[in-house]
Every structure is written in C-alpha cells, then in structure tokens.
Structure 1
C-alpha cells in the first residue's frame, strides 16, 4: 500500500455533495482524479520535449498524441486521422 499523508482541502459544498452521491470514498475518488491529471501532465511534458527535440508533430501524430492525453484507444486515434 502506498504511503499516505492526511491533508485538508476546501471544496465548494455543491461539488462535495455531488461526489458523495457517487462514492462513499471521497479521498479515493479525489486521489484517482489527481493521479489521472498527473499522468496527463507528465505525458504532456514528454510530448513537448519530443517536439522540441524532433520538430513539430504532423497532424496524424497530433491526433494520436491527443488520443493518448485523453485516454482514447489507438483504434479511435487511427479512425480520427
């Protein structure tokens, strides 16, 4: 199990109530969302690094990169290209 640390955050009341309507584990729900955001940020940083080193992506490469960032499958990216 990952090491955890307790923190306090402030959320709009309506948002908290909406989350509670979907889950009994608000901490787990928020953790999952933050992990997804962090993975997208790291991938975005890597894509930026690749473009800096190799030049601007083609339209097809951008379509596939967007699919990766948004979690869609390779098949969907191929169809969109």
Structure 2
C-alpha cells in the first residue's frame, strides 16, 4: 500500500493556487471601498449640488445644513 503524505510546501502551493496571492483580493476590496465611498459622498452632497446648479441665492446655507444636519435625518 503506497500512501502519499503531501509535504508542507505542497499543501502551501495548493492553497496558494486556490486563494491567489491575496493582492488581487485586497486590491479589489480597496477599489470597491473607494467606489462605495465616492458614490456615498456624491449622494450625501446631492442637495448641495442641486442648489449650486440651480443658482439658489442661499446655496451656502443649503451646504451648511446638508453637512451639519444631513447625517441625522433632520436636514
């Protein structure tokens, strides 16, 4: 009976071929996090952008209210 017990190196190489080097996974997560953060920032500041685009007289007030009270839901 011939039983092959893999060495530590063979196990590591097999695991690495399944998991990759980790760089692909980490860079994908980083790019995804940056995209989510950028989209969230644009959505959060959307009322300010609309006020500036429509040339509202008190656009600065809209920006201040948006930035200070926007996260609470009151704004």
- TM range, smaller chain: 0.3 to 0.5
Higher Rg: 2
